[in-house]
Structure 1
Amino acid sequence: MMTIKQSCKSMPELTQITDFGRLFANDTPLFDTRAPTEFAQGAFLHTYSLPLMSDKERELVGTCYKNKGQDEAILLGHELVQGDIKAQRIRKWLEFIEKYPNGALYCFRGGLRSQITQQWIFEASGIDYPRIKGGYKALRRFLIDETDRIMGQVTPIVIGGQTGCGKTLLLDKLKNKIDLEGLANHRGSAFGNTTTPQPTQINFENALAIQLIKQQNQTLLAFEDEGSNVGRVHIPQCVQAKTSTVELVLLEATVEERLKISMDAYVINLCADFIAKNNEKGVDNFANYWLKSLEKIQKRLGLERYQSMLNLLNNALSLYKEQGDSTGFHPVVEELLVGYYDPMYNYQIQKKMDRVVFKGSSDEVLSYLNDKSIY
């Protein structure tokens, strides 16, 4: 019986893709033939998990490879993926190809798994569906290198301002921007979690690189002022280094405006999101979010201040649960903004005043940025 390895060698040369920039710039749909656990650790936007082998099958083949070598491992893989299992997987691949005829496939290094998948697709349908040369590893290396290269050639302009002043809302109105908090799915503070998990570090970096590729022809790009991390994901050093030295625009807002923006983001809209995702448990999950977030800053607040804030929060939560009234959160949010975040902001901004080139309201900042061709 011809082994998979021999069969691959006997096949005609099928198409490989090497123009990675075009793939990402055009949001080309890709399917990933790696095992599900590999996909979960890191993948790309517009990529779907359609594995050649399950996690268990991959584990068995890997063990066989270590103990008996490549030929025996390939033979075992052939035995594990045959008959109905093989037919089901080919059917899923062909369904994907029918939906995305201009896509491509890959495995980890562009080796046997993607070659076998490509071969089986060709044998079943006559379709030469392209695979990525070098696979996931080559794509990942390309994105890392592109992040470094593009950050070296663009000129960022950074938008700063007090907590709750509406930096994200302003950034949303701009086309030429990189939304780090959006990519990280986090608002960048102890209260920054959303109702869905953050991406893995790898997925965050991949998504950031793809956004940079799409914006690389822009001379100026707007970024929000961030530290080294957004939640638990780390901002690449080349991005940190560039954004920490360039011009800084400060968005200004009154306490009343900041309170309104923060109430909308962290109370009204967030609770609605929890309810939409969790139904009956939504309000309880919203309460847990607030209690856990406040606990994160307990040491910074000090025991007495923390206990006072906790009492205010518990009163706000009780009022909300009993009457659906969110006004109890006003003193909580105002104390966090003015009493907790403002002193930290005032301390940090003093170190950056030599970079500040403009201050103003949302409309004034938008006008300033438009004059600099950041739309």
Structure 2
Amino acid sequence: MSRRGPVCVGDRHGFDTIIDARSPAEFAVDHLPGAINCPVLDDEERRIVGTLYKQQGAFEARRVGGAMVAANLARHLRERFAEQPAVWRPLVYCWRGGMRSGSMVTWLRLVGWDAQQLSGGYKAWRRHVITQIDTLAPQLHLRVLCGPTGSAKTRVLQALAEQGAQTLDLEGLARHRGSVLGGWPGVAQPAQTAFETALADAIEAFDATQPVYVEAESSRIGRISVPPALMLRLRASPCVEIVASPEARLDFLLRDYANLGDDPQLLAHQLHNLRELHGGEVIARWQAWAHGRNLAALFAELMARHYDPLYARSQGTNLQQWEERQSVAAPALTPADIERLASAVIALPWQSLNAKLPLPASGENS
């Protein structure tokens, strides 16, 4: 059996399984990529032990909690770990790398497995995530896809990935399309910490010598905030604008956002959020179209009166290389057209623009 010093976050890839020993509620908020949840205390047990600690002290909390931990560990040994071979090497963590993960490691090692405890636990992971984003984001060779609402930017990004390009799908990580009507149907956004975990995991996997395509985004995607280091890099990077006619964009939106017609009441409620910008009369008209499922009229006016003016104001302000942007024409935005657009984006002469990217400031990568 291996005996060694503390296991750091950077060593995690050398283990067969990563085990999160925290409660299911803690795990649901965020966890290490690929981890499985095998709690030593479930949510209610953790509440009970915490209450005992406050009201009766550490001894009573440990006496009661110890019995709960033993029962849970026995269950995991019978169920989740029952088929693991003798050479299995799990890495276990809890909140700080303390008693919960320590108790599991002790029992796993008694069985004969080379179990190890993650030094610093989840808190060490959070420090790692923040450091990786702040360190690696300024080094990315980003290429930013721009275009007004309905230009199929997300679909082009997906087509780029299918064609072998490196892509960073921020809306996919945030589970939101980024606009007032951008919520994914029936899907909640992740916690901010979980978004940052997924972001750091994606950035770490990139080949730093190759470009990364990303969609132009504001600093917030729904309720998720994009980390400042990444936003600064995105706004300083070269751009390509997808140029499509209003007719082509409307046709695309009617296909891509067709789900908005499934719940007219929810759509009308979302439109109410634009009341201060457009006034009661306009919003009443839009809500009437929503209730009548007249998405063609609604989307056409939303493009003309809301999204296109917003796009015109924001790009030159937020993107430093907007004036030097390249463009690709999109006569239509069918799936076949989107594949051709992705190929055209890859073929653009990007190299001359990369030189304009600012280098990370001194000490930024420390």
Which residue does the alignment assign to 1:221?
A: 212
Which residue does the alignment assign to 2:135?
A: 149
Structure 1's 218 and 181: CA in aligned 2 closer, same or farther, altered over 3 A?
farther
Q: Does 1:51 align with 2:17?
A: no
- Aligned pair count reads 333
Shift of 1:163: 0.4
Match of 1:169 among 141, 155, 175: 155
Shift of 1:253: 1.1
Alignment of 1:14-53 (within 5 A): 17-20=7-10, 23=13, 29-53=17-41
CA distance in 1, matches of 2:8, 2:80: 21
Which residue does the alignment assign to 1:231?
A: 222
Alignment deviations for residues 48-69 of structure 1 (CA, whole Å, 9 cap, x no partner): 2211012222223233444565
Alignment deviations for residues 93-120 of structure 1 (CA, whole Å, 9 cap, x no partner): 415857x956532111112111111122
> Does the CA-based 8 Å contact 1:20-1:139 persist in structure 2?
no
1:173 alignment partner, SS class: helix
Alignment deviations for residues 268-326 of structure 1 (CA, whole Å, 9 cap, x no partner): 5x66xxxxxxxxxxx4xx3333222212212222111111111222222xxxxxxxxxx
Which residue does the alignment assign to 2:233?
A: 242
> Does the CA-based 8 Å contact 1:147-1:212 persist in structure 2?
yes
Q: Does 1:293 align with 2:270?
A: yes
CA distance in 1, matches of 2:75, 2:70: 10
1:263 alignment partner, SS class: helix
Q: Does 1:334 align with 2:276?
A: no
> Does the CA-based 8 Å contact 2:33-2:198 persist in structure 1?
yes
Which residue does the alignment assign to 1:6?
A: none
Q: Does 1:359 align with 2:289?
A: no
Provide structure 1 residue ranges, at least 5 long, that are not aligned to the other structure: 1-10, 272-282, 317-327
2:183 alignment partner, SS class: coil
Structure with the bigger percentage of helix: 1
CA distance in 2, matches of 1:333, 1:103: 52
Which residue does the alignment assign to 2:359?
A: none
1:215 alignment partner, SS class: coil
Shift of 1:27: 11
Match of 1:94 among 81, 85, 91: 81
Shift of 1:168: 0.3
Q: Which amino acid is 1:120 matched to? A: W
Which residue does the alignment assign to 1:200?
A: 191
> Does the CA-based 8 Å contact 2:181-2:270 persist in structure 1?
yes
Match of 2:61 among 65, 73, 78: 73
Shift of 1:353: 7.2
> Does the CA-based 8 Å contact 1:31-1:104 persist in structure 2?
yes
1:156 alignment partner, SS class: strand
CA distance in 2, matches of 1:214, 1:314: 45
Structure 1's 101 and 290: CA in aligned 2 closer, same or farther, altered over 3 A?
farther
Which residue does the alignment assign to 1:345?
A: 311
Alignment deviations for residues 114-157 of structure 1 (CA, whole Å, 9 cap, x no partner): 1111122233x322233322211111111110111111222222
> Does the CA-based 8 Å contact 1:171-1:179 persist in structure 2?
yes
Q: Does 1:61 align with 2:49?
A: yes
Match of 2:168 among 166, 178, 188: 178
Structure 1's 102 and 334: CA in aligned 2 closer, same or farther, altered over 3 A?
farther
Shift of 1:360: 1.5
CA distance in 1, matches of 2:114, 2:29: 29
1:181 alignment partner, SS class: helix
Q: Does 1:190 align with 2:156?
A: no
CA distance in 2, matches of 1:37, 1:66: 21
Shift of 1:178: 0.8
Structure 1's 308 and 49: CA in aligned 2 closer, same or farther, altered over 3 A?
same
Pairwise CA RMSD: 2.9
1:360 alignment partner, SS class: strand
Q: Which amino acid is 1:166 matched to? A: A
> Does the CA-based 8 Å contact 2:144-2:238 persist in structure 1?
yes
1:349 alignment partner, SS class: helix
Which residue does the alignment assign to 2:336?
A: none
> Does the CA-based 8 Å contact 1:50-1:92 persist in structure 2?
no
CA distance in 1, matches of 2:251, 2:148: 14
CA distance in 1, matches of 2:16, 2:183: 30
Shift of 1:170: 0.8
1:147 alignment partner, SS class: helix
2:81 alignment partner, SS class: helix
Which residue does the alignment assign to 1:322?
A: none
> Does the CA-based 8 Å contact 1:187-1:193 persist in structure 2?
yes
328-337 or 356-365, which deviates more: 356-365
Structure 1's 216 and 70: CA in aligned 2 closer, same or farther, altered over 3 A?
farther
Q: Which amino acid is 2:105 matched to? A: Q
CA distance in 1, matches of 2:282, 2:70: 65
Shift of 1:267: 0.9
